[in-house]
Amino acid sequence: MTPPRPLWLLLAALLLLLCPPRAAAATVRLLVSIGANVGDPDDAVLSFADDDAGRVRQLFVELGEVRADRSYLVVDQPASVVRQRLAEVTGRIAELRAAGDDAVLIVYVSAHAKGGVLHLGGTHLPLAELRDSARQAGARLSVLLVDACESGTLARRKGGRAGPEFAVSLEQIPLHGQVVISSSGPGESSEEWDSLKGSLFTHHLLTGLRGDADVEDDGRVSLAEAYAYAYRRTVAGAAGAGQHPAYSWELAGTGELILTEPRAARSALVFPAALAGRYVVASQPRPDVVAEVEKTAGRPLRLAVPPGRYLLRKRAGASTGLLELELPYGGERQVREEELTWRRYTEVALKGGHVELRGSALLGLVRMESAPVLGTGARLAGSLGYRHSWGPWWALGTVSFSQTGYPGVGLEIRERSLGAGVAAGYRWLEWTLVPYVGLGVELTGMEQQLRREREEEIEDTFDVPPLPPHRTLGVGLGPIAGVEVPLPGQAFALLQGQLLLRYLPSKEQPALLPAGLVSAGAGWRF
């Protein structure tokens, strides 16, 4: 007997509830970033290939939807290790495909190359083998970025060639197959610059991926935008016979490959539309160039950079405009022309591109300190200070004051102290929160006013004067440790602790005693 139609519908609905639909397939990105400073014995040792590989990995993890556990950094390893890492990636892609997902593989390499062969620590890896390994890894789409001399032979092999003009915009970049981008054409050298602390092509590629290549102003940088930008800037900046990046592709399907999404960055520098000129953004205190943009008037620019401390430079004739920037917790920081501090270019150049713009700071602190007199309890003190810094090194002078009262044996004691201190030490400026250590010396003058119980009656009855005050002068010496928290503008907050071995002459207690101080406050750089 066939069940009635409403019963069949009910059973079908129950089956749908008990068996939820399969989740849509996800696209997973994987990255292999390879850097090798050391090539063959007769190759000049590169200085920044390793650093470039690390920067590429950091950028794709930050902006390119690559999870840190799906990115491989291979630095100064022989060809056998590179092959092993590519085999591991192939295995991970197979696992993803078995789970119903697909993969996009990005491979970056910066190293010596000659005749279409990578030189990796005295071993060789043909570029064609690298290309074929990436293609055969099983990813739906593979992107190979090669920054090496004569790497254009790899792109040319598949039919791509470097033409005289590459200001092209591919309307549709297919999403199935392989794309190869090389830093130089056949027979050309790829330049590495000390001033950039990296290679010319990778430097411009990274700047473009941070947002400067976003010609459509949609907060995303496509492969076409990134290549056109890196090509234009590399050709314009290359010396000698020149350097011409090249590309090739074997693709099918439709769509557009987005390499990075600067709009999703937690922190960014915003250049208003009215600004124009060449701006260089360098990290601090290690002056690595993070980005170099040629800003044109009329187009706003949002440049994605990680949280940290930066020095922005703008060259104008014989002068250089400088601006210190801090992005400690993310957020946007707008660049304003009126905030630039202008210095002679020779002054900046002689100091290696770094000038301490605001080495002075005023501080206000509240501190809790242990009792200088045993058994009288901790007390609060206020202090003012002036700090001067020379890069990571600092020196500080302070004055402090405290006042408290406590009972004695038949007495009421009021205590006042005035202190003057000097300290010096070192700060680790490369951290978002700036830790520091130092050594401080403090000179303390103390006065105790003693008032007996029923003081007026005693003075009238026995015709005696008030008890004289007790005064003493002490000195303390000890280490300081703290952390400085950058705030918007020139402000900062700090929290620090100090241990002192204090010498304070006294008849009632040992003259030499340990002491502890905890301080919190804020400062203003100028």
Domain membership of residue 433 (yes or no) is yes
DSSP 425-447: EEE-TTSSSEEEEEEEEEEEEEE
Mean pLDDT to the nearest integer, 165-181: 58
Domain membership of residue 11 (yes or no) is no
Mean pLDDT to the nearest integer, 362-383: 89
Say if residue 55 is in the same domain as residue 198: yes
* Residues in CB range of 512: below 8 A, 6 or more apart: 501, 502, 503
Residue finishing a domain among 221, 246, 263: 263
In tens, the pLDDT along 96-154 reads 999 999 899 999 999 999 888 999 999 999 999 999 999 999 999 999 999 998 665 55
Q: How far apart are alpha carbons 107 and 231 in whole angstroms? A: 19
Three-state DSSP class for 237?
Answer: helix
In tens, the pLDDT along 461-500 reads 777 787 788 888 999 999 999 999 888 767 899 999 999 9
Domain membership of residue 79 (yes or no) is yes
Share of the chain above pLDDT 90, in %: 51
Three-state DSSP class for 494?
Answer: strand
Say if residue 245 is in the same domain as residue 275: no
pLDDT at 4: 54
Look-up: residue for tokens 């039919």?
Answer: 159
The CATH number covering residue 62 comes to 3.40.50.1460
Domain membership of residue 18 (yes or no) is no
Whether residue 285 has a cis bond before it, omega within 30° of 0: yes
Residue finishing a domain among 221, 237, 263: 263
Mean pLDDT to the nearest integer, 304-315: 89
Say if residue 320 is in the same domain as residue 446: no
pLDDT at 152: 56
Token pair listed for 411? 């007495």
Give the DSSP H/E element, type plus range, for residue 205: helix 200-207
C-alpha 109 chain-centroid distance: 23
Radius of gyration of the chain (CA): 33
Q: CA torsion angle for 56, 195, 243, 32 (degrees, to 10)?
A: -10
Q: How far is CA 180 from CA 37, 142, 177, 384, 496, in A?
A: 22, 8, 10, 61, 53
Say if residue 179 is in the same domain as residue 235: yes
Token pair listed for 7? 């019963």
Say if residue 365 is in the same domain as residue 312: no
Domain that holds residue 327: 267-350
Domain membership of residue 10 (yes or no) is no
pLDDT at 352: 54
Q: How far apart are alpha carbons 114 and 384 in whole angstroms? A: 63
Say if residue 276 is in the same domain as residue 250: no
* Residues in CB range of 435: below 8 A, 6 or more apart: 427, 428, 481, 482, 483, 484
* Residues in CB range of 236: below 8 A, 6 or more apart: none
Token pair listed for 326? 């801090």
The CATH number covering residue 306 comes to 2.60.40
Q: How confident is the model at residue 12 (pLDDT cuts 50, 70, 90)?
A: low
Q: 31-45, 235-249, 412-426: lowest mean pLDDT where? A: 235-249
Say if residue 206 is in the same domain as residue 334: no
The one-letter amino acid code at 192 reads E
Q: Is there a contact between 30 and 106 (Cβ–Cβ < 8 Å)?
A: yes
Answer yes or no: is pLDDT of 157 > 80: no
* Residues in CB range of 84: below 8 A, 6 or more apart: none
Say if residue 238 is in the same domain as residue 327: no
Helices 200-207 and 223-237: angle between axes, nearest 10 degrees: 140
Q: How far apart are alpha carbons 262 and 302 in whole angstroms? A: 8
More confident residue, 83 or 434: 83
Say if residue 368 is in the same domain as residue 310: no
Domain membership of residue 240 (yes or no) is yes
Q: How confident is the model at residue 158 (pLDDT cuts 50, 70, 90)?
A: very low
The one-letter amino acid code at 197 reads K
pLDDT at 11: 53
Q: How far is CA 419 from CA 155, 380, 382, 472, 473, in A?
A: 72, 13, 10, 12, 10
Number of domains the chain contains: 3
Q: Is there a contact between 259 and 222 (Cβ–Cβ < 8 Å)?
A: yes
In tens, the pLDDT along 285-294 reads 777 889 999 9
Q: How many helices (H) and strands (E) does the chain have?
A: 9, 29
Exposed e or buried b per residue across 383-422, where buried means at least 16 C-beta atoms within 10 angstroms of its C-beta? bebebebeeeebebebebebebebeeeeeebebbbebebe
Domain membership of residue 144 (yes or no) is yes
pLDDT at 237: 83
Q: How far apart are alpha carbons 133 and 154 in whole angstroms? A: 14
Give the DSSP H/E element, type plus range, for residue 451: strand 434-452
Residue finishing a domain among 263, 283, 307: 263
Q: How far apart are alpha carbons 135 and 141 in whole angstroms? A: 8
The CATH number covering residue 374 comes to 2.40.160.20
Q: How far apart are alpha carbons 318 and 349 in whole angstroms? A: 11
Say if residue 196 is in the same domain as residue 323: no
The one-letter amino acid code at 52 reads D
Say if residue 259 is in the same domain as residue 271: no
Q: How far apart are alpha carbons 224 and 251 in whole angstroms? A: 14
Q: How confident is the model at residue 230 (pLDDT cuts 50, 70, 90)?
A: very high
Say if residue 234 is in the same domain as residue 309: no
Answer yes or no: is pLDDT of 167 > 50: no
Beta strands 192-193 and 308-316, pairing class: unpaired
C-alpha 503 chain-centroid distance: 44
DSSP 265-286: -SEEEEE-TT--EEEEEEESSS
Mean pLDDT to the nearest integer, 390-419: 87
Helices 49-63 and 200-207: angle between axes, nearest 10 degrees: 10
- Angle at alpha carbon of residue 188, lines to 185 and 193, rounded to 5°: 110
In tens, the pLDDT along 63-102 reads 999 999 999 999 999 999 999 999 999 999 999 999 999 8
DSSP 165-196: ------S---SEEEEEEESS-TTPPPPEETTT
Q: How far apart are alpha carbons 519 and 516 in whole angstroms? A: 10
pLDDT at 129: 95
Look-up: residue for tokens 């739906």?
Answer: 140
Q: Is there a contact between 321 and 299 (Cβ–Cβ < 8 Å)?
A: no
pLDDT at 410: 72
